[in-house]
């Protein structure tokens, strides 16, 4: 039995709005620990590329660096997509940035204004975080498999806003009204499908300029924090073809690889 919400997930509505519904296998879940965890487990069971898990309430949603992901039923959209890359392709470097481009395309297509991207995986508008992306990869059968988890705030209940350490935002603040979650999910899946086909052909390099056009820290002084290492400060001057952040530091140009690091204004 599904949660009683004002905007329940409906597989038929989602499928009708997909450009290529045959490319996806959708599972709607009332409650789970994490959609990423669910699909990572499904990889071992041979789940096909295009498997999608969308959940009303995550009890242990995860962000990067082991952080929890808070969401409210009906006020957010949390889902994951499993994608199997063809054998022989290199590891999907820069995939979290590429997924950010897909999310931005979808939101802008729905009328959202001022969408920006923060390296390596945050979706922002007017400096407030609308959502985030968590990409986890495994290798099996000679191919790389990615699980792309996306969480977006449609609205922001006061209880969640007050529990967060960062400035959070929501789609209803950058759109005339919060979109239907069914149509939003379909738009995001359509954008991801198109982008992943591009990514398979040419990697992140073909998407770098589009990411840079939305980079909220372009030209700014930033600080990179990593556990067990001294902070690194420099001016954000771009990203490499593999998605690494390029910093102009006092010691010269430095590459910062996405991993267990955090970016802050300097």
For residue range 106-117, list pLDDT tens digits in order.
Answer: 999 999 999 999
Q: Would the pTM of this model clear 0.75, i.e. be above it? A: yes
Selection from 78, 63, 64 nearest residue 31 by Cα: 78
Which pLDDT value is given to residue 165?
54
Non-local (6+) Cβ contacts of 140 within 8 A are 43, 44
- DSSP assignment, residue 94? T
| Phi and psi at residue 46, to the nearest 5° | 80, 25
Is the pLDDT reported for residue 74 higher than 80? no
Question: Mean pLDDT throughout 40-69?
Answer: 79
Question: Mean pLDDT throughout 125-146?
Answer: 93
Task: Please confirm, yes or no, whether 254 is among the known catalytic residues.
Answer: no
Task: Please confirm, yes or no, whether 65 is among the known catalytic residues.
Answer: no
Selection from 76, 120, 134, 135 nearest residue 216 by Cα: 120
**Of the residues 25, 84, 129, 254, which is catalytic?**
129
34: part of which helix (H) or strand (E)?
none
Q: Hey, what domains does the chain have and what are their CATH numbers?
A: 11-212 (3.30.930.10), 221-265 (2.30.30.100)
| Least reliable range by pLDDT among 98-112, 114-128, 135-149, 167-181 | 167-181
**Of the residues 62, 64, 118, 181, which is catalytic?**
64
CB atoms within 10 A of CB 70: 18
CA distance 196 to 233: 32
**Of the residues 2, 20, 67, 264, which is catalytic?**
264
Which pLDDT value is given to residue 72?
61
Non-local (6+) Cβ contacts of 109 within 8 A are 187, 191
Q: Find tokens 């889902």 and name the residue.
A: 79
Mean pLDDT of the chain: 89
The backbone region for 111, taken as left when phi is positive above 0, alpha when psi lies in -120 to 50, beta otherwise, is left
Query: What confidence category does residue 1 fall into, taking pLDDT thresholds of 50, 70 and 90?
Result: very low
DSSP strands (E only) in 154-195: none
Task: Please confirm, yes or no, whether 2 is among the known catalytic residues.
Answer: no
Non-local (6+) Cβ contacts of 241 within 8 A are 94, 203, 204, 205, 208
More confident residue, 46 or 67: 46
Q: What residues does 146 pair with on adjacent strands?
A: 83, 137
Top-confidence range, 165-174, 218-227, 256-265: 218-227
CA distance 117 to 2: 33
CA distance 77 to 73: 8
**How do residues 187-243 score in pLDDT, each as one tens digit?**
999 999 999 999 999 999 999 999 999 999 999 999 999 887 889 999 999 999 999
Which pLDDT value is given to residue 167?
78
Which pLDDT value is given to residue 142?
87
């Amino acid at each position: 039995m599904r949660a009683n919400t004002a905007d329940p997930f409906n597989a038929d509505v989602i499928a009708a709005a997909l450009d290529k519904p045959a490319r996806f296998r959708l599972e709607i879940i009332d409650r789970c620990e994490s959609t990423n965890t669910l699909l990572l487990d499904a990889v071992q069971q041979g789940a096909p590329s295009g498997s999608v898990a969308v959940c009303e309430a995550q009890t242990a949603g995860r962000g990067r660096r082991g952080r929890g992901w808070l969401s409210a039923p009906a006020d957010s959209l949390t889902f994951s997509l499993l994608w199997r890359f063809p054998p022989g392709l290199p590891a999907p470097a820069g995939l979290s940035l590429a997924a950010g481009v897909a999310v931005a395309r979808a939101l802008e297509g729905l009328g959202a204004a001022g969408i920006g991207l923060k390296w390596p995986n945050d979706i922002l508008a007017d400096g407030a975080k609308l959502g985030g992306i968590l990409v986890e990869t495994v290798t099996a059968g000679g191919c790389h498999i990615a699980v792309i988890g996306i969480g977006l705030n449609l609205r922001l209940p006061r209880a969640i806003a007050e529990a967060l350490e960062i400035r959070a935002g929501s789609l209803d603040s950058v759109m005339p009204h919060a979109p239907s979650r069914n149509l939003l999910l379909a738009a995001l899946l359509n954008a991801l499908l198109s982008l992943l086909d591009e990514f398979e052909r040419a990697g992140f390099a073909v998407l770098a300029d589009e990411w840079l056009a939305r980079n909220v820290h372009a030209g700014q002084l930033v600080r990179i924090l990593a556990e067990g290492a001294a902070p690194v400060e420099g001016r954000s001057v771009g990203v490499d073809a593999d998605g690494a952040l390029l910093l102009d530091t006092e010691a010269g140009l430095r590459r910062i690889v996405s991993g267990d690091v955090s970016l802050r204004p300097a």
